Amino acid sequence: VASPTGCPVSAAAVAFDPFEPPYQLDPAEALRWSREQEPVFYSPKLGYWVVSRYDDIKAIFRDNLTFSPSIALEKITPPSDEALAVLERYGYGMNRTLVNEDEPAHMARRRELLDAFTPEALEAHAPMVRRLVREKLDAIVDRGRADLVAEMFWEVPLTVALHFLGVPEEDMEQLRRFSVAHTLNTWGRPSPDQQVEVAEGVGRFWQYSGQVLEKMQRQTQGKGWMYDMIEKNRQKPDVVTDNYLHSMMMAIIVAAHETTALATANAFRQLLSRPAVWAELCANPELIPAAAEECLRHSGSVVAWRRRATREVTLGGVPIPEDGKILMVTASANHDPSHFENPDELDIYRDNAVDHLTFGYGSHQCMGKNLGRMEMRIFLEEFTRRLPHLELEEQAFTFLPNTSFRGPEAVRVRWDPARNPERRNP
């Protein structure tokens, strides 16, 4: 087998399949061979150049002229004709947002939309996050068993995301299903039958987003980031364009909730599977922010991100042609021993955990990272205080097969309600 540039493709590169269990279960481990032997390789199954080392990935993030983000939300599996027909029927027109916009349009737009992310603006959401987590905890605290994903890990971040955006908090179950369809549509490998079903979900999500947007555009006094955008769209329609508004409406609902939901599930799984670390957090809650950061490094919720080479370029000694598509496996970079000592260890005292690439890097770096971090912190604060004796149940973790969004579909836990601290000190 040869790559499009005529280079031979190794057996490991031919075998690489991010939709199969090894990558789903542990993407960093699945790419250990690559980090060690072949840090940039062509994957015939994907049609992408895969990059696995920290320094190479950071260099790509740094240079968004050579490495365009334009394909960040492209369907990684080419859609079938039937799926395309379904999308067309819904008038599907997802295009540029921020994350997949080139310069100079991207920075011009991003600069207009920063106000919602000042530390003060974000801190204003903290009481709501805490109230939501407490309500959800109240509902289960005497029960003794729960699947934390089903009980709260998706619903709280979704509620917070909608509130942050100013989107009415309605149809939550449906939005959850739409998000899964969007993830599979963008980063998954749905079977031909699934493709049509997924396209139906995505098409309906597109229509729904348009309807919500129109409703919001008729309001004059709404509060939230989408209202900031609507206002900028009125003032500077060439910077914050009409199509941007609709595309962003759909993309951001997912970006702002799914990422945080999965990150929280990953963090609880990792911390609870290390009872000594969990006990340390319960005894010293001031360690929680550092622990959350280390979980984002060790088991991030975004594990791979994409760029397109705008010209012929050599990366790690490997030539990549113009228009070559690149999959940066950030989960692998986060386990690169050249940057992180004992990278596979979850070490809440690690001093460079924050160097992880789970939020991307450079001019497109996640705008919502501090909102995501705050939610994780509050979840951990409330749980370590109210259920320090929480234990992970024996379970096989499962994941939605896709290249980029990763977190367990369930996190089953148990505890003895008789030992709840609030029963001892009411």
Binding stretches for ligand HEM (CB under 6 A): 61, 69, 98-99, 110, 164, 255-256, 259-260, 263, 300-302, 305, 358-362, 364-368, 371-372
State how far the Cα of 375 lies from the Cα of 152, in Å rounded to an integer: 12
- Nearest of 370, 384, 198 to residue 293 by alpha carbon: 370
Angle at 176 between CA 123 and CA 223, to 5 degrees: 35
d(CA 402, CA 21): 10
CB 149 within 8 A of CB 409: yes
Name the DSSP class of 142.
T
Is the peptide bond between 104 and the residue preceding it cis, with omega within 30 degrees of 0?
A: yes
The nearest distance, CB 67 to ligand HEM, in angstroms, is 10
Q: How far is the CB of 425 from ligand HEM (least distance, A)?
A: 33
Nearer to ligand HEM, 347 or 375 (CB): 375
| Least Å from the CB of residue 387 to ligand HEM | 22
> For the CA atoms of 398, 401, 405, 409, what is the dihedral angle to 10 degrees?
-20
Pick 340 or 415: Cβ nearer ligand HEM: 340
Give whole-number Cα distances, 159 to 120, 127, 147, 179, 249, in Å. Answer: 20, 13, 19, 14, 15
Helix (H, G, I), strand (E, B) or coil at 8: strand
Q: Is 160 helix (H, G, I), strand (E, B) or coil?
A: helix
Q: Looking at beta carbons only, is 275 or 362 nearer to ligand HEM?
A: 362
Indicate the residue type of 258.
Answer: E
Which is nearer to ligand HEM, 166 or 368 (by Cβ)?
Answer: 368
Helix (H) or strand (E) holding 315: strand 313-315
What CA–CA distance (Å, rounded) separates 363 from 376?
24
**Distance between CA atoms of residues 424 and 312, nearest Å:** 67
Q: Which residue's CB is nearer to ligand HEM, number 302 or number 320?
A: 302
Smaller CB separation from ligand HEM, 61 or 383: 61
In terms of CB distance, is 203 or 372 closer to ligand HEM?
372
Q: Which two tokens stand for residue 152?
A: 């709260």
Rounded to a whole number of angstroms, the minimum distance from the CB of residue 247 to ligand HEM is 12
Q: Which is nearer to ligand HEM, 87 or 378 (CB)?
A: 378
Count the alpha carbons within 13 Å of 283 in the hemisphere toward its beta carbon: 6
| Least distance between ligand HEM and beta carbon 158 (Å) | 11
Q: Environment class of residue 170 by beta-carbon count within 10 Å: exposed (0-12), middle (13-18) or buried (19+)?
A: exposed
